[in-house]
Chain A
Amino acid sequence: MSTTAPKRASNLFVGSPIERLEDLRFLTGRGQYVDDLAVENMLHAAILRSSVAHGRILSIDSSAARARRGVHAVITAADIGTVPTIPLRHDPTPAIRRFEQPVIADGKVRYVGEPIAVVIAESAALAEDALEAIAVDIEALRVVADREFARKDDIILFETVGTNVPDTITAVRGKADDAAFNSAPYRRREHFSVQRHAAVPMEPRGLLAEWDDANARITVRGACKVPFTNRRALAQMMNLPEASVRMVEYDVGGGFGARGEFYPEDFLIPFAARLLGRPVKWTEDRRENLTALNHARDMECDLEIACARDGALIALRAHACTDIGAYVRTNGATAARNIAQVLAGPYRIPHVRVDVSLVITNKTPVGTYRGPGRFESDFCRERLFDMAAADLGVDRVEFRRRNLIREADMPYPLPKVQVLDIESECDSGDYQITLDRCLAEFKWAERAKLNGKLIDGRHHGIAVGCYLEGGGTGPRENVRLAVEADGSISLFVGSSSVGQGVETVFAQIAADALEVPMERINRVLHGSTDYVAQGFGSFSSRSIVMGGNAIGDAAQKLRTLIREAAAKRLQCQASDIVIDRGMAVGPAPARAAIALKEFAGLCADGTFASAKRTYSYGAHAAYVAVDAKTGHVELIDYVAVEDVGRIVNPLTLHGQCIGAVVQGLGGAFLEHFIYDENGQLLTGSFADYLMPTASDFPQIRAVALEDKPSPLNPMGAKGAGEGGIIPVGGVVANAVAAALGSLGVEPRDLPLSPPRLWQMIQAARATCAAR
């Protein structure tokens, strides 16, 4: 804001619970998703995917398929020539890059679901019919179905590389060596695992590619998340200048980290459109979605902590291993990197060393899923903390309170990620406040009386855990604000929408920054590569931090332009002009007002750059009842408290948090990609891959605070999209452990499925009886 203009007493829109602008469109059936699109001459694609997890392709005979009615082409690696691989977008160590995925199986298949051929036909059904007519001869190779076998390197997935372990990522703070552990009064070491599961957006992916032969340009509809990055990748692969690739975003039914990354189809469909000179559309169906979209989590961790008798933490060290599937995709190393960086969580632990190795197996490749690496880390760490607190006779809440990073410690450095040379630090916060608030909302003291009790045949238990959420990832975001002929403002931004409500919150921010009514922000145009010269997209809880602050910058510039123009008209100083309710108002006594439409055509570009990440934080508490005879866990109450620095819209934030908690509960109790020893996915449909639904976990409460703004950006904003999911696994597992304390049941593996819990209870009873 200009220093000379009088500052408004309060923000009108930022901080208000404004209903989402998007919702009217969705609720009246006017949302437009990529599958809704149809253009003249359009053809449809279907993809033949490998049914073999590991094998050498001996031959592909597509002549019968090509001869079928309505089939226009069958594309295989041979038709593409030199098959490009998909570049890493994040954390590209040279070692990891050797495992990039080719856009189509090239000589070998390495997971069930890998694209082998693309059929282009008059309709999607005809294309799918023709898949059966393609004869593929594959010599099956021995399958690498799990981490343990992969690490032996008996069977190598990439012969030329010679190992199944692409890299090990290490993060260090202090010196967590044997000396630190040997001299500690108390130490405990445990092994944990988190199962393979994934972001499963409600809307599967879709693409519509159109080749403009006259201008040698390709338009790809259905882009999201990182359209500018994908434009660069596609331009390179198709040998086109970046300016000849146009990415267009439509409404998106959920991303959660997985949707919008560059996948094989993001090349194959545009390639087919150029090859045939006709628009080609592909809509992913749910069956292929569950083997084609990035999987996630799938880690195991050997974790050890050392502390004083009063629970003060001295050191933490761990060896973790993530099964990243058959290739390293765009962000396939990110979860591993995060595990290394955040396994120590929001706690003051002087000595930390975490080594995370990435392992290749014959499964669907992984990528980021909301809270990547963080959900897994928190499960392991918070579980071990409860075990340690019990050993030491220290109250679980006290244990955390004693060790939380204090406000006076800020900025507090996270362990340094060595290979990638990543340093980051907690920017601001008072972690005790969110913990206390969580305990108060939860009525911890009252409920503690029920902990471990058997009531009406069920074991009751409670738990609380703390977490950090990294967000606001740079490097930059760009925005343009323009005054339209009718005096409304258009906002163009490089951020993307994946359904999280960016149109609403950006309009709030812009309205406040320009001091105009919100209706004046008539269009928020995001995601497509047309709108700004360079955008960075929506990932890592960055849209408000980066896009929002860029809006502030653009608004300030636009206000200056408007004031200068108004000053010229009113023959006064620009500093005398006030912008108020959509008018430029001159100095007293005349106070002549000029409507904004008089300034049509003015526009300003804004940017916000930051190399530092924000860290929001919070605490969650859960109350469960466990039916020991069935292994069923009822979630009786769940409270999530977070501090996000600056709340732009309490309604959309609340939705983010509740949705994230439910996803976390899905990961804690239900969702599991189970593979057999042949690399076949056994839970490949919604009949077997169990998603949480609206009625499964009705008892979730969320409270958001803005006590401690981030010092890193003018708004004080921090990321807020992922916090809700991060601590869930650890908190509910601790609540279950607390409920079953009398039996000594200690969950170390997710998910907490009824059969698994029942089995643990049986085993615990048998041990008790044997004693």
Chain B
Amino acid sequence: MKLPPFDYACPTSVSEVVALLAAHDGEAKPLAGGQSLVPMLAFRVALPSLLVDLRKVAELRHIKITNEGIALGAMVRWREILDDARLRTAHPLLIAAVAHVAHYQIRNRGTVGGSMAHADPAAELPGIAVTCEAKIAVTGKAGARVIAAADFFQGPLTTALQSDEIITEIRLPLWPAKRRFGFQEFARRRGDFAMAAAALFYDEDGGKARNAHIGAIGVADRPLRLKAAEDAINGTSIDEAVIAKAEAAASASVDPADDIHASGAYRKALIGVMVERALRDAAGLKTT
């Protein structure tokens, strides 16, 4: 588990990073918090010729809250999100989700850009990005572009990023103060990747739910929106019958594969339970 040989660079600007990546033709990798990449090096499943450390790139470290929403620089660490008092009202769903990411030590180092680029299907932030229709700002040698979260994740550890591109910013749309939300996750131990998690929110209009967004984590090769479950609650006032319908719809809309930790059938049922419980949290209804 010693790291394989590689060169190392520690530039201070996005343009230098991009130039280095482009010059190495797919053989270079950005290094952010190292919490996913370094284990992959130790297991020798990643063998880059060059690591481009992003830790000195100051332009990637901001948390901006504006009328348009929230912008998280790629090098923002989990700890900084949890410590930012503004975000607790500006995006409580984000806070609820990040609280489930890993452990203290890992949260001190892991970054939002690293998590998005790593694209683990059971990771929380990609799930929040998809649920909230986030936009991902990236920069490469051809310049900057913005990718919708729904198009960004393409499979396990696979994204729409080109090898010379880095994520610069994650943009979450504005969060209305009265929005209702819930986040429920089930993991074997605290801090483990989710076996399944549900992130959801809806707005209210005359006592009826509208604009429902329901996201599922850990039940497919990437985070998903569960349209059928959203349909089950849009236009309703949330009660036991609606919750049951949403649970059933959530379960029915996924088809997880079996793996060493759980059968597909288990995860399929579990995502329904997570949606049910998240919806109860959102609506303020107790477990029966």
Contacts and interface: CB of A to CB of B under 8 A. Distances in A.
Interface string B44-71: 0000000000000000000000000000
A732 to B, nearest CB: 16
A289 to B, nearest CB: 10
Chain B binding surface, main DSSP class: loop
A685 B43 contact: yes
Interface centre among A456, A674, A690, A755 (most CB of B within 10 A): A755
A688 B39 CA distance: 14
Interface stretch (B18-26, B182-190, B238-246): B182-190
A754 B2 contact: no
Contacts of B39: 687
Interface centre among B190, B266, B270 (most CB of A within 10 A): B266
Interface string A684-702: 0101101011011000000
A682 B260 contact: yes
Contact of B266 (A456, A674, A690, A755): A755
Contacts of A755: 261-263, 266
B172 interface: no
A683 interface: yes
Given A287-B1, A683-B260, A688-B261, A754 B188 contact: yes
A123 to B, nearest CB: 8
B186 A630 contact: yes
A690 B195 CA distance: 13
Interface stretch (A80-88, A124-132, A293-301, A735-743): A124-132
Contacts of B195: 754
Contacts of A758: 266, 269-270
Interface centre among B1, B263, B269, B273 (most CB of A within 10 A): B1
Interface residues of A, number: 30
A552 to B, nearest CB: 44
B38 interface: no
A685 B192 CA distance: 13
A674 B260 contact: yes
A286 B1 contact: yes
A361 B269 CA distance: 35
A423 interface: no
B186 A632 contact: yes
A568 interface: no
Interface in A438-481: 456-457
A629 interface: yes
Interface in A274-315: 285-287
B189 A670 contact: yes
A204 to B, nearest CB: 10
Nearest to A692: B189
A692 B191 CA distance: 12
Contacts of A285: 1-2
A63 interface: no
B288 A688 contact: no
Interface in B10-49: 39, 43
A32 interface: no
A522 interface: no
A129 B6 CA distance: 12
Contacts of B263: 755, 759
7 contacts: A125-B2, A129-B5, A286-B1, A457-B288, A683-B260, A695-B190, A759-B263
Given A128-B1, A457-B288, 20 more contacts: A125-B2, A128-B2, A129-B4, A129-B5, A285-B1, A287-B1, A457-B287, A629-B269, A630-B270, A632-B186, A670-B188, A693-B189, A695-B190, A696-B190, A753-B261, A754-B188, A754-B266, A755-B262, A755-B263, A755-B266
